[in-house]
Amino acid sequence: MPVDHFSFSVEDTFKLRYLINDDWQKESNAPIFFYTGNEGNIEIFAENTGLMWESAPEFGALLVFAEHRYYGDSMPYGNKSYSDGKYLGYLTSQQALGDYIDLIQYLKSTPQTRLSPVIVFGGSYGGMLSAWIRMKYPHIIQGAIAASAPILQLSGAVECDSFARIVAMDFKMAHPNCPKLIQRSWSTITNVTSSDKGKQWLSDNWKLCEPLKNETHIKQLKDYLQDIYSNLAMVDYPYKANFLAPLPAYPVNAVCKHLTNESLTGTDLLTAIHKAINVYTNYTGETKCLNLNDSTPQLDAVGWNYQACTEMVMPTCSNGINDMFEAAPWNFDEYAKDCEKKYSVKPQPNLACEQYGCAFLSTATNIVFSNGLLDPWTAGGIVRNLSSSAIAIIIPEGAHHLDLRSSDANDPYSVVLARKYHRFFIRQWIKEYPLIQGSMGN
């Protein structure tokens, strides 16, 4: 791949990794089902996107999972990729879409695939990429399944505390005392760790890999807990799963079973909180100690913080009243200072909306936007039809891109129905494709 798709002066190239499966591709010009990889190793997404695998036999499709540049093994400058801004600056969604278009053109360069319709799939940031690639390259991409794609979170039109409110709602549905105790735990952590003895107690009892020594460590612990609660709400699937972490069915319920006694305070409360988060951090019993540096080590999503500091600025906040977190207002100036300190870059919060459109998407076609009401990212998702063929599907009992996952006996009917809609639209797009090609003179 070219490192820079939009320049005639940068001639550097790199190898982009992709996974391909042709078990069901029997005919010429078979559909290509293409996963627009997001922030992490591509294997994770191939293993957790059963919808594509289950649909491929029906459509005789070729399956392709493309890895996003700067993640997994797709490093434009090898070990130097993250060492300096001059190497890291090519980590953008626009460049990633350029990679995917080049790969698709390469895959379609044989006589057997020249007229293959391309249907893209993606979840979360990958879902945003699927929607955007259809919008930007409709002459190459025939349709898109964009699951749990919070593209409106970028626009500033979404209330910044909406994500936190949905997280709290999920925990309240599991048990009404659960979010109350989590809310109480923040001040309890502050009080207990105000002394060296308290820091030592928490470090020992929670089996932290690195003991708490100062205020920075306490903030890191709280940020880690907030990430865990948010992740639990996202992956509150109705069966055992291993996406962000190995988890039981309905993990939010499993967590809240430890947080029902409203009278808990002090170290008793923190002991219960530790048991609760153990559902996420040590469900398998194999974790030796708690590493506060990364709440999703399986994803290997180290580059996302850089993207969030450049074009993927998604304002989030909490007020501690309508949610279960400490009050944390959104302050763009502070956010920007932090980004400049970390990466020597200035965030461009309007860039993605300028590139792809956020509030003005009425011209979008052939996209299914699906969102689950258990998923906190639904707050920034498309939940109303944009046009006659840019459709919104709501999954009341669905967590984060549950509809992309493999079918399971415990699936709620709403997600079974959503997958039927996906296949209906895919069938329609493929049927329309020869007519489009004919009108273009191909």
Which residues are part of the catalytic machinery? 124, 375, 400
User: What is the spatial distance between Cα 340 and Cα 345, in angstroms, rounded to a whole number?
Assistant: 5
Closest CA to 78 of 27, 146, 13: 13
Closest CA to 234 of 37, 421, 80, 372: 372
Within 8 A by CB and 6+ apart from 214, the residues are none
Contact 366, 134 (CB under 8 A): yes
Contact 199, 212 (CB under 8 A): yes
The single residue listed with the structure tokens 């879409």 is 97
Question: How many CB atoms sit inside 10 A of residue 54's CB?
Answer: 14
What Å distances lie between residue 225 and 98, 185, 222, 228, CA to CA?
A: 36, 10, 5, 5
Contact 118, 32 (CB under 8 A): yes
> Distance between alpha carbon 162 and the CA centroid of its chain, in Å?
17
What Å distances lie between residue 398 and 15, 48, 261, 279, 414, CA to CA?
A: 36, 15, 28, 20, 8
Closest CA to 361 of 135, 124, 184, 197: 135
> Distance between alpha carbon 321 and the CA centroid of its chain, in Å?
26
